[in-house]
Amino acid sequence: EVQLVESGGGLVQPGGSLRLSCAASGFIFNTYAMSWVRQAPGRGLEWVSSIGGRGDDIKYADSVKGRFTISRDNSMKTQYLQMSGLRVEDTAVYYCVKPPQGWEPTIYYFESWGPGALVTVS
Amino acid sequence: QSALTQPASVSGSPGQSITISCTGTSSDIGDYNYVSWYQQHPGKAPKFIIYDVDNRPSGVPARFSGSKSGNMASLTISGLQAEDEAIYFCCSYTSRSTVIFGGGTTVTVL
């Protein structure tokens, strides 16, 4: 069974930094591109960033480019999101997501979602 | 890049059919068939229910169907059931190699 579990959320002041982690299990982690999607309170979904299975092919939304850094450690089956220069508008639940089987290297679809980590910038 | 455009809310009675529209541009929905839909119940993570415009992942009921014409995608729920009351988000790959979501549509079962 696929499991994605985020950690590292919390309360941070504007301008501060935070690192989210996502521990994965139940699939061959290093073959899948992984992504982060966020949802501000009462708002819609926003794709944040994606990283290829080998740690290459990194992409960011314009809203976080230059402030957030995505990375992964395939030996630990974990992906990370280093967030710096945090703004009030970054307040959201951050979801770790993976593509369906058969779509491993792509970021078109998000079949599996973690429960999310709440980041509050205030 | 602005979010895809969805109606804020749609409602229907049990057994009826409803359709949710999702309008994009020639740089996303109009250029790719990588259109998907997600269902989200309150306090839960989204659930993947449609991919490739009109395909359903295993386990998703057949009453959910998708379509696309030009820059607009649609999700139809046929035979609406009480458990279908949720927020629905469309999603598309883009020409910038990024992903964009719609603002979400709240479906209410009357």
**Pairwise CB contact (< 8 Å): A114 & B98:** no
Residue A103 banded pLDDT, cuts 50, 70, 90: confident
* Rounded Cα–Cα distance for residues B30 and B48 (Å): 21
| Touching B: A residues 47-106, CB under 8 Å | 47, 50, 59, 61-62, 95, 100
* Rounded Cα–Cα distance for residues A64 and A84 (Å): 9
Which of B34, B89, B98 is nearest residue A61 as measured by Cβ atoms? B98
Token digits of residue A116: 């999310």
Task: Tell me whether A110 touches chain B (CB under 8 Å).
Answer: yes
* Rounded Cα–Cα distance for residues A11 and A41 (Å): 14
* Rounded Cα–Cα distance for residues A80 and A78 (Å): 7
Pairing of the two strands B64-69 and B72-77: antiparallel
* Rounded Cα–Cα distance for residues A63 and B107 (Å): 29
Q: Which of A36, A45, A50, A107 to mutate to test the interface with B (most CBs of B within 10 A)?
A: A45
Chain segment B26-72, per-residue pLDDT in tens: 999 999 999 999 999 999 999 999 999 999 999 999 999 999 999 99
Task: Tell me whether A35 touches chain B (CB under 8 Å).
Answer: yes
Q: Answer whether A114's CB lies under 8 Å from A7's CB.
A: no
Which of B48, B98, B102 is nearest residue A110 as measured by Cβ atoms? B48
- CA-based Rg of chain B, rounded to a whole angstrom? 13
Chain segment A50-62, per-residue pLDDT in tens: 999 999 999 999 9
Which residue shows structure tokens 């999101």?
A81
Q: Answer whether B69's CB lies under 8 Å from B54's CB.
A: no
**Pairwise CB contact (< 8 Å): A44 & B104:** yes
Predicted confidence at residue A78, as pLDDT, reads 98
Chain segment B9-39, per-residue pLDDT in tens: 999 999 999 999 999 999 999 999 999 999 9
Chain segment A87-99, per-residue pLDDT in tens: 999 999 999 999 9
Residue B2 banded pLDDT, cuts 50, 70, 90: confident
